Structure 1
Amino acid sequence: MKFATEEELAGHHAATVRGAIEGILGGLAISLPATWYANRRWPAFRALPPQFKALGVVLIVVPTYAVQSERRGVEFDESTWTGAGKAFLDDKERKEETRWEALSNKEKIKDWAMRNQYKVIVGSWAASMAIAATIVMRNRYQTTPQKIVQARMWAQGLTIGVLIAAGVLTQAQRKQAAANRSVDHSWAEILEEQAKEEQELKLHELAQAQPQSAH
């Protein structure tokens, strides 16, 4: 079993920090212009308390920060894998590419949606909220308080819809996982690769020792 060295721990920390910075900057690059535009475009948004506007920024920045920092950390971990571990990851990646290429376009869309269900749900919710807010704010026959009430009703309805969609996708994912359930032999494959490496190393050392004994 390989333990992480001080250099690897420091590298993982640096990669995670870099990902966190990228996530924060990316979230701010999206949320701040959106807040500025909404504040300029809609009086109802302009009338909201500052803490509500700040909450909107936080709701975008926090997920991008968390996702990108974890992504960079995982990338660094995978880059440090060597030997049997790296061979296993490469083989797993090749199998996944082969499986993906064998899928039809419809199956690819379904597979992608299942693996990224929360991104799809949150993205759909955000897009629906933006469309609903645009429709409500364009109504010239309602006062600002009425528009706020309408926007809140839309938000509640869309949130319920998102929760229902999340439940449906989760249930479908569980059924698919149960149907395709298989025993995880990854540990056995890694041990087999390690045994092969040790055998090759012994043969190499033996081949080097033979010329020396001949002298």
Structure 2
Amino acid sequence: MKVISKEEEQEHFGVVMRGGLIGGTVGLALGLAGVVGASRRYPAFRSLTLPFRSFLVSSAGTFGAIVLADRYSINYQRSHDQMNNYLEATHRAAEQERRAHTTEWQRLMEWGRENRYSIVFASWLASMGVALALVGRNKYLTRSQKLVQARVYAQGLTLAVLIATAAFETADAKAGRGRWETVMVVDPNDPTHQHMIEKKIHKEDYEGQDLWKQMVAAEERRLEEQKRQQEAAAKAE
């Protein structure tokens, strides 16, 4: 297992902070622009309280900071792990070979299966915006009625997308293509190590994808054991 140095740790921290600052700034800018634009365009949105609109802006900034910081962290780890680069290249080559023998419809269905949750979230946002635009044209409805109708329309479309997502999940579970699989492992609370329990784990796309997680867990156990030994030695003295 590769043990990172103090310099690498500081470099990684700087990369994550830079990603968080960029994502937070972009998120705040987009959130502020969206709230200002919606306030000018839709009377129903303008009727929302100032604290709630501020919450929408800050939420966009927080979301952007978290997402981009995480991506910067993952990219840094991948760029400094030669074994991971080798596995990624091998996986990409095998994936390109497999995709070369699939139709456009199959690739579209596979893309929808892999990005199902992003599609659900994006469809809710899009449907809410479209519903507000359509309902906002009705001059005979009050602001609260427009918001209620827009939410109903958005929930209807989101429910349809969720049903399609559930169908994907069911099909994946039956075909064994899901992101998670159930395996039998030794019960960690059993001192005899004879009792087996079921555990839901991430299903690797290729062998060794989650190897880094096992290495980190093993290193944490080693450090914890070393700490206990040092404490025991200190008490003995």
Partner residue in 1 for 2:97: 98
Which residues of 2 match residues 118-157 of structure 1 at below 5 A?
118-157=117-156
Higher relative contact order (CA 8 A, sep 6+): 1
Separation (CA, whole Å) in 2 of partners of 1:169 and 1:30:
32
**Cα separation, partners in 2 of 1:100 and 1:184, compared to 1, 3 Å:** closer
Q: Does the Cα contact within 8 Å between 1:11 and 1:76 map onto a contact in 2?
A: no
Q: Which residue in the other structure is 1:204 paired with?
A: none
Cα 1:73/1:124, change in 2 over 3 Å = same
Q: Evaluate the alpha carbon distance shift between residue 99 and residue 62 of structure 1 in structure 2; reply closer, same or farther with a 3 A threshold.
A: farther
- Supply the distance in 2 between the matched residues of 1:141 and 1:28 (Cα, whole angstroms): 35
Q: How does 1:32-111 map to 2 (within 5 A)?
A: 32-82=32-82, 84-111=83-110
Per-residue deviation, 1:29: 3.1
* Residues in 2 aligned to 1:2 and 1:170: alpha-carbon distance in whole angstroms: 37
In the TM superposition, residue 85 of structure 1 has moved relative to its aligned partner by 4.2
State the shift of 1:170 in Å: 2.9
1:207 is matched with none
SS of the residue 1:186 aligns to: coil
Which deviations, in whole Å up to 9, do the C-alpha atoms of 1:87-127 show, x marking residues without a partner?
33322222223223332211221122222212111111111
Specify the code of the residue in structure 2 equivalent to 1:171. T
Aligned ranges for residues 7-26 of structure 1 at < 5 Å? Answer: 7-26=7-26
Q: CA deviation at 1:53?
A: 1.5
Q: What's the offset of the Cα at 1:77?
A: 0.5
**TM-score, structure 1 length as denominator?**
0.73
Which secondary structure state, in structure 2, belongs to the residue aligned with residue 139 of structure 1?
A: coil
**Mapped contact 2:16–2:72 kept (Cα < 8 A):** yes
Aligned to 2:29: 29
Give, as a single letter, the amino acid of the residue that structure 1 aligns with 2:20: A
1:4 Cα deviation after fit: 1.9
Amino acid at match of 2:207: S
Q: 2:170: which partner in 1?
A: 171
In 1: Cα distance, 2:176 partner to 2:96 partner: 19
C-alpha separation in 1, matches of 2:178 and 2:6:
43
- Which residue among 181, 186, 203 is the counterpart of 2:207? 186
For 2:138 and 2:8, locate their aligned partners in 1 and report how far apart those are by CA, in whole Å.
57
Note if contact 1:121-1:165 (Cα within 8 Å) is conserved in structure 2: no
Q: What percentage of residue pairs aligned between the two structures are identical?
A: 32
> Using a 3 Å threshold, how does the CA distance of structure 1 residues 166 and 183 change in structure 2: closer, same or farther?
closer
Query: TM-score, length-normalised on structure 2?
Result: 0.67
Alignment CA distance shift 1:178-1:118 (3 Å): closer
Which letter maps to 1:106? W
User: Number of residue pairs matched?
Assistant: 187
* Cα distance change on mapping 1:100 and 1:64 into 2, 3 Å: farther
Distance 1:168 1:58 in 2: 35
Q: Any unmatched runs of 5+ in structure 2?
A: 182-202, 212-237
**Structure 1: any 5+ residue segments left out of the alignment?**
191-215
Q: Shift of residue 78 of structure 1?
A: 0.7
Q: Map 1:194-205 to 2 at 5 A.
A: none
Q: Give distance in 2, aligned partners of 1:109 and 1:66.
A: 28
**Kept after mapping to 2: 8 A contact 1:40/1:46:** yes
Amino acid paired to 2:122: G
